[in-house]
Structure 1
Amino acid sequence: MNYQAAIFDMDGLLLDTERVCMQIFKEACEVQNLPFLEQVYLSIIGRNAAGIEVIFRKAYGNDLDRLHKEWRARYDAIVKYQAIPVKDGVVELLEWLKSQGIPIAVATSTAKEVAMKKLELAGLSRYIDSLTTGCEVMNGKPDPEIYLLAANRLNVDPLKCLAFEDSNNGVRSAVAANMVTYQIPDLVEPCEEVRTFGHAIVTSLHEALSELKRGKTSEA
């Protein structure tokens, strides 16, 4: 393998967070007597706080303030104190990358304090050499800035990086950063535009690991 680093998204990729988060948002909508706009919600997956604000403000207007307060209180009560389940194949892939001497980074749209707590509670922080979060960049996913910053912090050329994502916005970000990208879809299937990128789309991190062990890449 010629790769010098592996960079992972977190929610929906390392951790089975997206279903938890969506259910909490749905509950918050019910408590606040507001509609649960599923397609609007799915469109925010992979974006940072600023990007989410723009989309939700357009959909919910002034009601967003009380909705967001309700959602945040319920979300923090879970993710800051309870371990989110780890996605299938995560530990095996991280262990293998470590055995190959490949540094591992996380590039997540989640705020730094929350991301650190999630990784710690899930028992994954010991694998992570560097953490880059959405609050540290001007332009969140789908812009490539977060992936470029993560590579820079590892002092690795983006072209020599593997990227692992679940969302379309995340894939756009990683591909725009010129990284060899694996997509493992979670709540949202790859859209037609994203499918034209030519990156690897696999069903699990187990499958990604098998391909890496065989020396396959999306460039093959």
Structure 2
Amino acid sequence: MKFQAAIFDMDGLLLDTERLCMHVFKQACQSVNVPFYQETYLSIIGRNSAGIETIFRQAYGDNYDKLHQEWRTQYDAVVKHQAIPVKAGVVELLEWLKAQHIPAVVATSTHREVAQVKLDLAELSHYFSDLTCGCEVSNGKPDPEIYLLAASRLGVDAKQCIAFEDSNNGVRSAIAANMATFQIPDLVEPCEQVKALNPMIMPSLHDALSYLKHPA
């Protein structure tokens, strides 16, 4: 498998943030006395802030603003001050890419300020030469814009990049950008429509690394 650069999602792929984020959202719902809609919540995974707001405003209506403020406050109180656990296989894969002189970058729907803090606290920042964030694109995942922007900043053709994602929205984004894509599912299993796109679905990044070292 030949590629010139590797592009990584962050939440749920590099960092075990998705369960924390959902737990905090449930707490926020309780705090402002609104129901927790699990299916609606799972549908926002991988989207940027604009996409999340659109979905949640439809679900929560006039309660959205106070719910969002409570969620943001509780979430930031955690992720801006303590390291989120790194997912299995992350460091091993990043070290291997470094040894192969293959640049690695992050393409995350998270706002840049928060994303940088998360990577710094997890001691992963030094592995990445660039960070492309949801606040920097007009169309968030599943649109390919963020992956195309990340590739252009590297000066690498998108077809020469390999992508790593956990969410269905993220996989759709990377494949639409014509990147070979690994999916390492986290909270949400690959749906049938995403399976039909033929991502390389692996249980962990350990497995993805084994595949890269010894492709079938």
Answer yes or no: same fold by TM over 0.5. yes
Offset from partner CA, 1:7-63 (integer Å, 9 cap, x none): 000000000000000000000001111101000000000000000000000000010
Match of 1:122 in 2: 122
- 1:6 lines up with 2:45 in the alignment: no
Deviation at 1:199, TM superposition (A): 1.6
Deviation at 1:2, TM superposition (A): 2.1
User: How far apart, CA to CA, are the structure 2 residues paired with 1:195 and 1:215?
Assistant: 20
* SS at structure 2 position matched to 1:181: strand
Match of 1:191 in 2: 191
**Unaligned 5+ runs, structure 1:** none
User: How far apart, CA to CA, are the structure 1 residues paired with 2:31 and 2:215?
Assistant: 50
Aligned structure 1 segments of 4 or more residues deviating by more than 4 angstroms? none
Q: Percent same amino acid among aligned pairs?
A: 69
- 1:170 lines up with 2:170 in the alignment: yes
The within-5 A match list for 1:51-130 is 51-130=51-130
User: How far apart, CA to CA, are the structure 2 residues paired with 1:57 and 1:204?
Assistant: 34
Offset from partner CA, 1:173-217 (integer Å, 9 cap, x none): 00000000000000000000000011200000000000000134x
Q: Normalized against structure 1, the TM-score is what?
A: 0.97
- 1:200 lines up with 2:200 in the alignment: yes
* SS at structure 2 position matched to 1:84: coil
Amino acid at match of 1:143: D
Deviation at 1:132, TM superposition (A): 0.1
* SS at structure 2 position matched to 1:65: helix
* SS at structure 1 position matched to 2:6: strand
- 1:151 lines up with 2:151 in the alignment: yes
**Unaligned 5+ runs, structure 2:** none
Q: Normalized against structure 2, the TM-score is what?
A: 0.99
User: How far apart, CA to CA, are the structure 2 residues paired with 1:198 and 1:23?
Assistant: 31
User: How far apart, CA to CA, are the structure 1 residues paired with 2:181 and 2:6?
Assistant: 10
User: How far apart, CA to CA, are the structure 1 residues paired with 2:118 and 2:108?
Assistant: 11
Please give the root-mean-square deviation of Cα atoms over the aligned residues, in Å. 0.6
User: How far apart, CA to CA, are the structure 2 residues paired with 1:156 and 1:111?
Assistant: 24
- 1:39 lines up with 2:39 in the alignment: yes
User: How far apart, CA to CA, are the structure 2 residues paired with 1:25 and 1:78?
Assistant: 13
Amino acid at match of 1:168: N
User: How far apart, CA to CA, are the structure 2 residues paired with 1:2 and 1:39?
Assistant: 38
* SS at structure 2 position matched to 1:170: helix
Offset from partner CA, 1:41-95 (integer Å, 9 cap, x none): 0000000000000000000001011101100000000000010000000000000
Offset from partner CA, 1:90-146 (integer Å, 9 cap, x none): 000000000000000000000000000000000000101110000000000000000
- 1:17 lines up with 2:12 in the alignment: no
Offset from partner CA, 1:152-185 (integer Å, 9 cap, x none): 0010011110100000000000000000000000
